[in-house]
Structure 1
């Protein structure tokens, strides 16, 4: 297949290189022989030059010399030039030796020609780049509108890339005053003439030294700063009147000359994050690849992320179940775009309907089921007990029973830390769903469905969670509302939670996994919600209690002061993954549990809210309905 040149500028560069190749041979000969060159017949020089030009024509194009842009000439381009020149010179020497035994030509000519041609090809490229860079810097220096003065945090490769990109932007939005180095090893040095001024601990001295040229914004250049340092930087930035942002992805630096480089806000995840858990991705792919997978609640936060990640693992077919039409439409469209080759079955169905879910199982015959559908908003479920029971208990039982009936291999129940010592209806109903799946797993025969429960805390950014609430309140000018000054919660990003759910699912067949056990994800340290509110205000460039107020509004019905991941009676054992622990089950009598579930589900169908609440307290002894917030504070 003939290699085509993509652009007219590439054609010009190609012609330039062939011309330089033709020039390089007589020039090299003259450098070697001086005036003695007259002893070489002119026709021999012309023929040799033509031969070398033809060889260059044949070699240069396939070597990929014209995929690069002179404006961005780099070491990779120099490597490609080196390969092409070496091949051309060797081919010329070999052919000339075969034709004429290299008569008239000194043996050192190929070596000299190599150096000359390297200079003639590489020199113009790098001179052009230096000229363009300097030209853009002069344009930027002469621009009437000065950029925002900024201070970079981090003196590594990312900072160098950003500084270089800014230098190429006429009228760039930012003017880099200096750089901070977290470890201090590069203090006193320069990155493209931008000084490394000191460490974060020296910021006050640095700001005094800068005087009137103080930066207005701190831009974090690295993505792997730990949350403790990020919180410290946020406090320092606020103390010195700076807002805080972070660098965009590297693709943002590939903009054209007329495009403006934008930084991105520091996200709350940067302050709460933890080191990435070690994942066995081959095991995750082995679990999903080639299997039929069903996801309930696919339109929700967790269900949607499950759908996306599972689609990327190559299932044979993916079934999406949701009772909300628009949510189902949205996730089905997204999965279709992400994995167009994977068969899909979107089902608008309510897990509370045995008939509807039976039709779903009959159509898909799922081998893996991830049950994420649930009612989860504590205050709403607290006022609609029967609805909570029908979805979280009846619906979960329907899915679990159908898994056994249709020979599903593994069912994964997505649970919550609110199921531990529950103080609300939502937590109590999820605890009963856990218990039912545990008893099914403990009473199964060898070839029947394996039931696995995965329990974790709050997911950042999920619908109804505190972070989107704070964002709306910030946009409205405040105040931010916190229910208690000491209330804490566990947090995890949606992506991380789902990755660990899939990782935990791979452990379902492990010999170390106890029947009926609950996989509990490592949520890190609990976060004080008041601290979170203050940090989000600072991230918005405001001052807590001055620009934006925070109101303490009191605990809501059923709300706990702090959440727990384990019950005292659940013995913990490690798993093959340090980010996942196994909680041994609290044993429940299967037959008694079925009778109790039948009774409460009947009451729920009849919309007997108070009866359901009483039955919940009998089934989950830790749940004490009617207990006041003040009483909960004294018992927690």
Structure 2
């Protein structure tokens, strides 16, 4: 920094006197140049400006540069007037020194950043994958900066932004143009020879994601999804592009919880979740951790599932007391001990068999695992003064045509019959197809597609209604909070 400050001070004199510095002013320069360097080094050191020589140069660094340059010029002027010389530095030289310092050092730092990001230099981007970013907004700009700074990990060059709002077309974000709207994306991808399109999760509804994929798949353009900042801040994902998942294609907006009503119902209470190692049960546990129960009991007979769930929940919310228990809900004495020892106030019953074809061949096991287990658990809830009991059921219980659906319907009828016999509030929640849950049709479809087909369905007229696992868990909790007994 010292040679830079010395050169700037000389340049200020040279510009002020058009390259012909008078002897008197030259003598003033010679007496002051070393002091100017020392004063500037002290001031810029106090601002810790030397630690900012990196690729992370922002608008706030420019503000600090202006502040440091201003303080240093004031310090030089005071030293010149009161302590060091009899011939004063011209005020115009001080102003020029301030301006050259801001422009010169700011330009050097900006050039360093541009050199690091490389996207400004065509010879650095040869061989890079040309991409579009969907969303000309704050999230898209942050993604652009991330991709520009991490060229060592992602060999991408951002050709342009695509946005829903036609008013943004023609504007620039970080030097990258907004080239068009989503309706034009196929034409634009072909025009700019795009190979990938990046979407931030939750940026577009499922309908538009499906349309975007349909428009670009014939061109061989890959559509990839990045996690949103809400997901990143929760610590549950890493920033790596992934292929479009089934969840991205849902027709509707995600379910939102009435958090205040649920918090009033759950906070400070002892909760019990059966089938906690299953896909639905484990997600219920994760969702419950955003509240403040006094105790969360997790019951399942899967040793491996319970082991990994316990490790996960400890990282998600170490301040919530959790008890991971190995138990079979059909073991009445074991369940009675758990109810007596922990005194749960709210029960979420998610433990049950789910695979319809398998249960058709083993109906007695279905009756035992679904009907008998629900009856025993509901009886215990009534006997042990549980306040709320939430049964996870299925849409197959409506006019059941399978053993599994009939067993679920029988379990529903039984807990409905307890409404007049107990103060416990018995609530039933029915699901359709839950994406990627145990028993869902989606893994079967995925396997059939991977094997080249065919994809088998019950009937060509069959309609299926899907929800994600987090949505299903949220609906269970919401229903438990607002549902009426029976």
TM-score category of the 2 structures, normalised to the smaller one: 0.7 to 0.9
Residues 313, 200 of structure 1: alpha-carbon distance in 2 compared, 3 angstrom cutoff: closer
User: Residues 264 and 171 of structure 1: is their aligned pair in 2 closer, same or farther, counting only changes over 3 Å?
Assistant: closer
TM-score, structure 2 length as denominator? 0.78
Q: CA deviation at 1:337?
A: 3.5
Q: Alpha-carbon deviation of 1:22?
A: 7.1
Alpha-carbon separation, structure 2, partners of 1:175 and 1:269: 27
1:628 is aligned to none
Q: Which residue of 1 aligns with 2:395?
A: 417
Partner of residue 206 from structure 2, selected from 227, 231, 244: 227
**8 Å CA contact 2:43, 2:68 repeated in 1:** no
- Give the whole-Å Cα distance in 2 for the aligned partners of 1:502 and 1:353: 26
- Structure 1 regions of 5+ residues with no counterpart? 1-15, 252-260, 508-512, 517-584, 586-636
Q: Quote the Cα distance in structure 2 between the aligned partners of 1:48 and 1:388.
A: 87
Q: 5 Å matches for 1:113-512?
A: 114-134=98-118, 137-142=121-126, 146=127, 165=147, 169=151, 180-186=162-168, 198-199=180-181, 201-202=183-184, 210=191, 215=194, 219-220=198-199, 223-238=202-217, 240-249=218-227, 263-281=241-259, 283-285=261-263, 287-445=265-423, 449-507=424-482
Contact 2:199 2:226 in 1 (8 A): no
- The alpha-carbon deviation at position 302 of structure 1 amounts to 0.7
Per-residue deviation, residues 100-138 of structure 1 (Å, max 9, x unmatched): 699956778876655443334322110112233448844
Distance in 2 between residues matched to 1:504 and 1:97, nearest whole Å: 77
The answer to whether residue 47 in structure 2 is matched with residue 60 in structure 1 is yes
Q: Which residue of 2 aligns with 1:607?
A: none
Q: Are 2:55 and 2:112, in contact at CA under 8 Å, matched by a contact in 1?
A: yes
Match runs of 1:456-605 below 5 Å: 456-507=431-482, 515-516=484-485
What is the Cα deviation at residue 307 of structure 1?
A: 1.8
- Give the TM-score taking structure 1 as reference length: 0.62
Looking at structure 2, the residues matched to 109 and 177 of structure 1 have their Cα atoms a distance apart, in angstroms, of 44
* Pair 304,84 (structure 1): closer, same or farther in 2 beyond 3 Å: farther
Separation in structure 1 between the aligned mates of residue 53 and residue 31 of structure 2, nearest angstrom: 37
Structure 1 residue matching 2:110: 3-state secondary structure: helix
Residues 1:82 and 1:393: Cα distance change in structure 2 (over 3 Å): farther
The answer to whether structure 1 residue 70 and structure 2 residue 70 are counterparts is no
Deviates more, 1:161-170 or 1:497-506: 161-170
- Within the candidate set 32, 38, 48, 1:50 is matched to 38
Q: Could you tell me how far apart the structure 1 residues matched to 2:375 and 2:80 are?
A: 85
Deviations 1:499-520 (A, max 9, x none): 233334443xxxxx6x41xxxx
Aligned pair in 2 of structure 1 residues 127, 342: CA closer, same or farther (>3 Å)?
same
Q: 1:136 touches 1:168 (CA, 8 Å); kept in 2?
A: no
On the 8 A contact 1:246/1:263 being kept in 2, the answer is yes
197-206 vs 354-363, which moves further: 197-206
State the partner residue of 1:590: none
Judged with a 3 Å threshold, the aligned counterparts in structure 2 of structure 1 residues 394 and 65 are, in CA distance, closer, same or farther, namely farther
Partner SS state of residue 453, structure 1: strand
Task: Go from structure 1 to structure 2 and tell me whether the alpha carbon gap of 1:372 and 1:98 turns closer, same or farther (over 3 Å shift).
Answer: farther
Post-superposition shift, 1:297?
A: 0.3
Q: Distance in 2 between matches of 1:47 and 1:241?
A: 66
Aligned residues between the structures = 471
Give the match's secondary structure for 1:411. strand
Task: Check conservation: 1:218, 1:242, Cα contact below 8 A.
Answer: no
Question: In 2, Cα distance between the equivalents of 1:303 and 1:321?
Answer: 9
How far, CA to CA, are the matches of 2:320 and 2:202 in structure 1? 33
Say whether the 8 Å CA contact 2:185–2:212 is kept in structure 1: no
Relative to 1, partners in 2 of residues 1:409 and 1:118: Cα closer, same or farther, differing over 3 Å? farther
Q: Who is 1:540 aligned against? A: none
Tell me the secondary structure at the aligned position of residue 462 of structure 1. coil
* Distance in 2 separating the partners of 1:214 and 1:140: 18
1:630 corresponds to which residue?
Answer: none
For residue 402 of structure 1, give the secondary structure of its aligned residue in structure 2: helix
Which residue of the partner structure matches residue 567 of structure 1? none
Give SS of 1:488's match: coil
Cα 1:32–1:499 change in 2 (3 A) is farther
CA RMSD of aligned residues (A): 4.3
Name whichever of 310-319 and 356-365 sits farther off.
310-319
Equivalent residue of 1:70, what SS? coil
Alpha-carbon spacing, 1:116–1:279, altered in 2? closer, same or farther (3 Å): farther
- Cα distance in 1, alignment partners of residues 100 and 372 from structure 2: 82
In structure 1, what is the Cα distance between the partners aligned to 2:172 and 2:39? 49
In structure 2, relative to structure 1, the CA distance for the partners of 1:379 and 1:194 (3 Å cut) is: same
**In 1: Cα distance, 2:313 partner to 2:379 partner:** 27
1:123-155 superposed Cα distances (whole Å, 9 cap, x missing partner) = 21101122334488444455xxx4566666555
Q: Which moved more, 1:303-312 or 1:214-223?
A: 214-223
Cα distance in 1, alignment partners of residues 389 and 211 from structure 2: 43
